[in-house]
C-alpha cells in the first residue's frame, strides 16, 4: 500500500494505491504560506475516505515545492560562502550572457549571498587536483567565526578551486568547522556539484546552502507529523532526476529537489509508456499555475545536467542532473491581460491558490484560463474536484466583462481567444523541447495530465500537426501517482576536463566508473539499502576538441570491453548528429566528466477499477469551443475496455476531463488509458 502526495502551486494531489482495490484519489487546495498544512490535511482526509489508518501504509512518497518557493521568494537561510582567496567575486561576475536580450532595463537578480558574506581562505589546488598551497586552518576558522558571529550566518557553502578533482581541502574544512560550530549547516561543492565551471559550481552549492535549513525543517516536521499518525517508516522525497530518497538524505541535498513535483509526473509517464506500448511520449502537465513539457524517449525520460541559461531558478544556474522539463506560465490560474500595445496575453501571472480564478468564489477578480474553460462549457461546475468544490460561471462572466469591453468582444469570444492563446503558448514550449533539441514532435504521442492537460491535449496536438494523444487514468492527480512508481536513485559525477579520448585507455575509464560505484555503494549503505539491489547506468560527457559544451553519451559496459574507446567516440558522434544534424567524425573527442546513475528499482502498479460490460447512453452538453454545439458527455469509468467513440465528446472523471473535439476518435485500452487519434480527413483539412 502506497500514498503519493504532490504539492502544486494551486492544488495538492494525493493518491492511495492498493493491489486489491481501486485507487483512492483526492485534490485539496494548497496552502502557500505553509505547504505542509495542505499536505497533512490531505493525508487525513484521504485516510478517512479510504477507511484506513496510516500505520497500514507501507510507503509515503512526497513531491514538494518547498525548495523552489524558498529560493524564488528569497526566504532561505542567512548563508555565507568560503572560497579560495582571490576568487571571492566568482558569484558576482557570473557569465556575460543576457537572458532577456531586448530588455534595455534588464538587471540580473542579486546573488543569494552578498559580497560582504563571501570570505576568502588561503589554499589552492591545481587543475589536476595537486596541492599548490596548503589549507590555512587557522585562517579558515577565523573566516568561519566571522561568518557566524559578525554576519549571523546559519548555513555555510564551501567552494574551493578545483575541488571537483580533489576534495581534500573541502572535507578537512568541513571537519574543522563542524567541530567548532556544530549547529552550522555546511554544504561542500565536492558533494553537491563535483564538476568544473567555477560559476555554475559555486551557484549550485550556494543554492543548496541557502535552502538547506528551510528544507530540513520542512521534512523534519512532515516526518514528525506522519509519525504522530502512526507511520513508522522513512518519508520518501522526490528528486529532480525522477528518483526518490529518504527524507534525511534529501534534506542534506535539497538542490536536487527543484523539479520535485514535475519530475514525478514524467516518471509516471515513463511507466505508462512502457505499460501501454507507446514508448515515445511528449508529456504536457497543465496544473493550476503552470504547464510543464518533457519528453519520454524509448520509455526513458530525457535528462540534462547543465547550469546554463535554460536551467536556472530565479536567475541562478543549477548544475545537477535533472529531467529536461520546460515550464511556462500556462496553468488554470493564468491571468488574461492586455500589454502596453493593447495585445491580449495569457500568463505568466497566476491567480494561484489564493484567491484563485474568479469562479472559485474566493475573491479573485481577474479573468483566468479556468474561467475561460468554464464559459466555453469544457468544465462542469458540478463535477469540479469530484464535486467537492463548486465553481460559479456567473463569477467568470463578471470577471470577463471589463476585458471583453475593452476589446469589443462578448465574454464567450474572449474565452475562445484566451483558450487559443494558451494553445499557441503551449505549442511554442513544445517546439522548444523538441525542435530545439533536435527532435521531430511528430514522432511522439501527447500524454496530458494535471487538472487541465486532457482538455487541451487534442487542440495542442492539432496546432503542432500531431495526431496521437494518450490520456492516463486519473490525470488530475497523475504526478502523485508518478511518485508511487519512482525508483530510489542517486547520481554520481567525476569531472576530468581536457582528457583526450585518444589518450585514454579502457582500464582508466573502467577505474573511473569503479570509483563512482564504490561511492554509490557507500552512500546507499548509509540509509540501509542492500548494495546487491543497486543497478548502475554509465555515461560520459564528451565534446569535440575546442568545443565549449558537451553532450552526455550512454556507455554500454559490454561494448566498452569489446571495442574500447572507439565505442565512446562512435556514441558521441551519433549523439552530436542527432542533436545538431551533423558530426565531425575525423575530429578529436575529449572526455569532460564521468556519470553514474545508481538506482534501486521499485515495483510500480496501478489497479484498474471495475468497468461495466456496456457503455451507458451519453448525456449532452453545450460546448462553445469553436461554435456552440452539443457534445456527448461520458463518465470515464463507465466506458468498458475496447470502447470506441467519435468526437465531439467530453469524458469526465473525478479529477479532470478529456476533450475529444470534432475530427478525433477515442479508444479505451486494456489498462484504461484513453487513446485519441485524429481522423485522416481532419488532418487533410488542416
The grid coordinates listed for 64 are 514538494
Task: Please give the mean pLDDT across all residues of the chain.
Answer: 91
d(CA 561, CA 565): 9
Tell me if the bond preceding 578 is cis, omega within 30° of 0.
no
pLDDT tens digits, 43-57:
999 999 999 999 999
pLDDT in tens, 180-206: 999 999 999 999 999 888 999 999 999
29/9 Cα distance (integer angstroms): 9
The answer to whether the CB of 296 falls within 8 A of the CB of 302 is: yes
Task: Quick: pLDDT tens for 606-628.
Answer: 877 777 778 888 888 899 998 88
Q: How many CB atoms lie under 10 A from the CB of residue 440?
A: 8
**Closest Cα partner for 685 from 649, 651, 658, 661?**
661
Angle between helices 369-376 and 393-407 (to 10 degrees): 100
DSSP-derived secondary structure letter, 637: G
Say how many residues make up the chain: 686
How far, in Å, are 77, 365, 371, 413 from residue 405 at the CA level?
A: 47, 15, 16, 11
Burial 280-297 (b: 16+ CB within 10 A, else e): ebbbbbbbbbbbbbbbbb
Which residues have C-beta within 8 Å of that of residue 312, sequence separation ≥ 6?
Answer: 99, 318
- Ramachandran angles phi, psi of 648, nearest 5°: -85, 140
Model pLDDT, residue 109: 82
Neighbour count for residue 46 (Cβ, 10 Å): 22
| Contact assessment for residue 265 and residue 283, using Cβ atoms and an 8 Å cutoff | yes
Going by C-beta distance under 8 Å and a sequence separation of 6 or more, which residues neighbour residue 375?
A: 393, 396, 397, 400, 411, 412, 415, 624
- Each residue's pLDDT tens digit, 279-309: 999 999 998 888 999 999 999 998 886 644 4
424: cell is 499557441
Region 255-272: what's the mean pLDDT? 90
Cell numbers for 622: 453545450
Could you say which DSSP state residue 548 is in? S
Q: What is the pLDDT of residues 407-454, one digit of tens each?
A: 999 999 999 999 999 999 999 999 988 988 888 999 999 999 998 999
Task: Report the Cα–Cα distance between both ends of the chain, in Å, rounded.
Answer: 47
Question: Using alpha carbons only, what angle is made at residue 416 by residues 413 and 417, rounded to the nearest 5 degrees?
Answer: 90
Quick one: residue 175, left, alpha or beta (phi over 0 = left, psi -120 to 50 = alpha)? alpha
Euclidean distance between CA atoms 450 and 647, whole angstroms: 22
Read off the C-alpha cell for 290. Answer: 503552470
DSSP string, 61-98: EEE--HHHHHHHTT----EEEEEETT-TTHHHH--S--
- Report the C-alpha gap between 306 and 382 in whole angstroms: 45
Amino acid at each position: 500500500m502506497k500514498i503519493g502526495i504532490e504539492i502544486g502551486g494551486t492544488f495538492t494531489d494525493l493518491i492511495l494505491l492498493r493491489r486489491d482495490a481501486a485507487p483512492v484519489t483526492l485534490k485539496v487546495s494548497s496552502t502557500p504560506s505553509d505547504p505542509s498544512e495542505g499536505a497533512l490535511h490531505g493525508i487525513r482526509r484521504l485516510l478517512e475516505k479510504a477507511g484506513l489508518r496510516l500505520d497500514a501504509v507501507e510507503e509515503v512518497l512526497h513531491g514538494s515545492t518547498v525548495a523552489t518557493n524558498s529560493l524564488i521568494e528569497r526566504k532561505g537561510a542567512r548563508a555565507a560562502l568560503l572560497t579560495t582567496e582571490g576568487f571571492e567575486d566568482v558569484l558576482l561576475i557570473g557569465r556575460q550572457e543576457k537572458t532577456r536580450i531586448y530588455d534595455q532595463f534588464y538587471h540580473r537578480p542579486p546573488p543569494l549571498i552578498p559580497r560582504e558574506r563571501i570570505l576568502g581562505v588561503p589554499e589552492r589546488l591545481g587543475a589536476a587536483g595537486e596541492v599548490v598551497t596548503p589549507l590555512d586552518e587557522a585562517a579558515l576558522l577565523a573566516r568561519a567565526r566571522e561568518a557566524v558571529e559578525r554576519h549571523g550566518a546559519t548555513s555555510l557553502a564551501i567552494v574551493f578551486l578545483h575541488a571537483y578533482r580533489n576534495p581534500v581541502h573541502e572535507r578537512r574544512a568541513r571537519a574543522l568547522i563542524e567541530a567548532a560550530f556544530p549547529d552550522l549547516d555546511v554544504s561542500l561543492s565536492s558533494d553537491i556539484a563535483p564538476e568544473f565551471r567555477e560559476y555554475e559550481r559555486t551557484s549550485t552549492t550556494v543554492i543548496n546552502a541557502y535552502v538547506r535549513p528551510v528544507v530540513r525543517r520542512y521534512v523534519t516536521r512532515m516526518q514528525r507529523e506522519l509519525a504522530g499518525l502512526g507511520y513508522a517508516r522513512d518519508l520518501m522525497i522526490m528528486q529532480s532526476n525522477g528518483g526518490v530518497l529518504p527524507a534525511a538524505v534529501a534534506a542534506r541535498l535539497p538542490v536536487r529537489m527543484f523539479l520535485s513535483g514535475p519530475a514525478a509526473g514524467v516518471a509516471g509517464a515513463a511507466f505508462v509508456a512502457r505499460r501501454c506500448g507507446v514508448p515515445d511520449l511528449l508529456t504536457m502537465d497543465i496544473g493550476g499555475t503552470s504547464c510543464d513539457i518533457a519528453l519520454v524517449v524509448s520509455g526513458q525520460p530525457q535528462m540534462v545536467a547543465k547550469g546554463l541559461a535554460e536551467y536556472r531558478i530565479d536567475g541562478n544556474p543549477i548544475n545537477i542532473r535533472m529531467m529536461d522539463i520546460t515550464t511556462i506560465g500556462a496553468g488554470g490560474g493564468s491571468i488574461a491581460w492586455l500589454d502596453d500595445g493593447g495585445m491580449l496575453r495569457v500568463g505568466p501571472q497566476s491567480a494561484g491558490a489564493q484567491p484563485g480564478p474568479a469562479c472559485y468564489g474566493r475573491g479573485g477578480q481577474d479573468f483566468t484560463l479556468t474561467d475561460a474553460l468554464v464559459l466555453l462549457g469544457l468544465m462542469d461546475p458540478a463535477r469540479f474536484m469530484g464535486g467537492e468544490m463548486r465553481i460559479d460561471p456567473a463569477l467568470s462572466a463578471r470577471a470577463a466583462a471589463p476585458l471583453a469591453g475593452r476589446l469589443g468582444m462578448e465574454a464567450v469570444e474572449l474565452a475562445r481567444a484566451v483558450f487559443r492563446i494558451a494553445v499557441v503558448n503551449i505549442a511554442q514550449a513544445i517546439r522548444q523541447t523538441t525542435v530545439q533539441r533536435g527532435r521531430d514532435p511528430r514522432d511522439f504521442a501527447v500524454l496530458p495530465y494535471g487538472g487541465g492537460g486532457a482538455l487541451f491535449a487534442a487542440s495542442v496536438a492539432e496546432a503542432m500537426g500531431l495526431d496521437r494523444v494518450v490520456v492516463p487514468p486519473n490525470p488530475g492527480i497523475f504526478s502523485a501517482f508518478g511518485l508511487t512508481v519512482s525508483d530510489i536513485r542517486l547520481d554520481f559525477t567525476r569531472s576530468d576536463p581536457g582528457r583526450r579520448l585518444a589518450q585514454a585507455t579502457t582500464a582508466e575509464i573502467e577505474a573511473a566508473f569503479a570509483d563512482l560505484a564504490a561511492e554509490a555503494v557507500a552512500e546507499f549503505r548509509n540509509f540501509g539499502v542492500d548494495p546487491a539491489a543497486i543497478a548502475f547506468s554509465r555515461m560520459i560527457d564528451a565534446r569535440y576538441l575546442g568545443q565549449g559544451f558537451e553532450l552526455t553519451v550512454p556507455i554500454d559496459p559490454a561494448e566498452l570491453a569489446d571495442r574500447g574507446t572507439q565505442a565512446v567516440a562512435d556514441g558521441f558522434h551519433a549523439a552530436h548528429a542527432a542533436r545538431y544534424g551533423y558530426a565531425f567524425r575525423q575530429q578529436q573527442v575529449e572526455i569532460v566528466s564521468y556519470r553514474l546513475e545508481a538506482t534501486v528499482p521499485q515495483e510500480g502498479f496501478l489497479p484498474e477499477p471495475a468497468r461495466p460490460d456496456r457503455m451507458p447512453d451519453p448525456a449532452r452538453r453545450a460546448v462553445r469551443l469553436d461554435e456552440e454545439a452539443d457534445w456527448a458527455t461520458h463518465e470515464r469509468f463507465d466506458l468498458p475496455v475496447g470502447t470506441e467513440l467519435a468526437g465531439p465528446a467530453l469524458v469526465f472523471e473525478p479529477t479532470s476531463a478529456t476533450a475529444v473535439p470534432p475530427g478525433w476518435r477515442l479508444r479505451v485500452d486494456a489498462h484504461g488509458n484513453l487513446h485519441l487519434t485524429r481522423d485522416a480527413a481532419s488532418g487533410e483539412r488542416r
